[in-house]
Amino acid sequence: MYTKKTYSIFQMVIWTRFETLLFLIIITLSVSAYFFFDLIWLRIPWTPLALIGTAVAFVIGFQNNAAYSRIWEARKIWGGIVNTSRTFGVFIQDMVTNEHNKTPVNETDLQKEIKTLTYRHIAWMTALRHAMREIRQWETSIKHKTNNEWDIRPPEHDSSLDKDIKPYISESDFKYIMSKNNKQTAVLYLQSKHLKFLKEKGIIWEFSFLELEGVIQELFSLQGKSERIKNFPYPRQFATLNHLFMWTFVLLLPLALVPQFADIGKEVSTYNPFIGEYFIWFTIPFYVIVAWVFHTMERIGRTGENPFEGTPNDVPISTIARGIEIDLRQNLGESDEEIPNQFPSKLNTQF
C-alpha cells in the first residue's frame, strides 16, 4: 500500500519521466561510444567538471530559495486577504445599523445593504483571482506536457470573469467594472463609494465609516502586493542562465563520469575480469540519478517562480477565495443549498 510520501515520490518520477528518458539516452550513447568504439580520448578531467557542478548547485540553490520566498510571500498575502475579508464581513454586520441614524430604515433594507456589500467583496476576490490567473509571456510551466496530459488547470481557465462575477453585483456595477482595465480596483472604488453613500444616509456612523475605509485601504494594499508578484517575474537573466548552466553540466558530465568508471573497471579486472570488463555500464544508473537530481531541483525552482500561474505547486488562491466566500455567505445566514461548494481537488492538488 502506498503511503503519501511514496505516492509523492512516484508522482515526481512521473512528472520528470520525459527528461529522465533523455538522460538515459545520453548516457547510453556515451557508454556505448566508449565501450564499442574505444573512444578513450573522449574525456575531460574530473576536477573542472566538479567545479562546474558545485557552481551549478549554488546557482540552483539560490534560485530555489528565491522561488520559495516568492511562494511564501504570496501565501502570506492571501492569508492577509483571508483575515481582512473576515474582518470586513464582521464590520459590515455590526456597523451597518440604525444606531446613529436620525431617520431609521427598516431591517429588510439594512440586510439588503449588508448583502450588497458582502457580495461585492466576493466579486472583488473573484476579479482578483481571475487577474492572478491570466497567463504572462514568461509563465511557461503550465504549458508543460505533464501538466497538459493530467489536465492540471485552475478553475479560472475553464470559466470567464464576466460569468463568475455577474451573480454578485448589479447590472450597473457589472457594466462599470467590465469597462475598466483593472477590474478588481474598480470593485473597490465602488465599495468605497457605497460606504460613503451609507455614511451620508446615516446608516454607517462616521467613525465606523473611517474604520471600514481602513479595511478598504488594507485590501488595496494586499491587492497591490499580489499584483506586484504577478507582474514582476523572477529576473529572466537568472532563470535563463540557471537553465543553461544546468544543461551544460548535465551534457558534460558523461565525458568525465564514463572514463572514471572505465578506470575503476580496470582495477576490478585484476581480481574479477568479467565484472571489470563490463563495470563501465554501471555509469548509466549513477549518471541518471545525478542528472535527475540536478534537473528536478532546477525545475522545482522554475515552477515556483510564478506562484499564481495555476500549476500544482502554486498558491491555491481559487480554494482560498471560495473558502472566504463560504464563510461570508454563511455569516449572512444563507443555507448550504444557496452557497457554492468548494472547488474540488485533482490528483491531490488544490487550485
Helix/strand/coil (H, E, C) string of 80-137? HHHHHHHHHHHHHHHHCCCCCCCCCCCHHHHHHHHHHHHHHHHHHHHHHHHHHHCCCC
Structural domain of 325:
77-234+316-351
Q: In this structure, what DSSP letter does residue 42 have? A: -
Question: Is 18 a member of any domain?
Answer: no
Cell of 203: 446608516
Average pLDDT, the chain: 89
What pTM did the predictor assign?
A: 0.87
Closest alpha carbon to 120 in 333, 332, 343, 350? 332
* pLDDT at 192 > cutoff 60: yes
The span from the CA of 38 to the CA of 151, in Å, is 47
Sign of the dihedral through C-alpha 230, 231, 235, 240: positive
CA dist list (Å): 325 to 288, 309, 322, 339: 47, 22, 5, 8
Would you state the pLDDT for residue 34? 87
Question: Is 331 a member of any domain?
Answer: yes
Number of structural domains found in the chain: 1
Instruction: Express as a percent the part of the chain with pLDDT over 90.
Output: 57
Question: Is 65 a member of any domain?
Answer: no
What mean pLDDT comes out for the span 201-214? 93
pLDDT band at 191 (very low <50, low <70, confident <90, very high): very high
Question: Is 1 a member of any domain?
Answer: no
Question: Is 263 a member of any domain?
Answer: no
Q: For 110-114, 145-149, 280-284, which range has the lowest pLDDT when averaged over its residues?
A: 145-149
Question: Is 178 a member of any domain?
Answer: yes
DSSP assignment string, 324-343: HHHHHHHHTT--TTTSPPPP
Question: Is 255 a member of any domain?
Answer: no
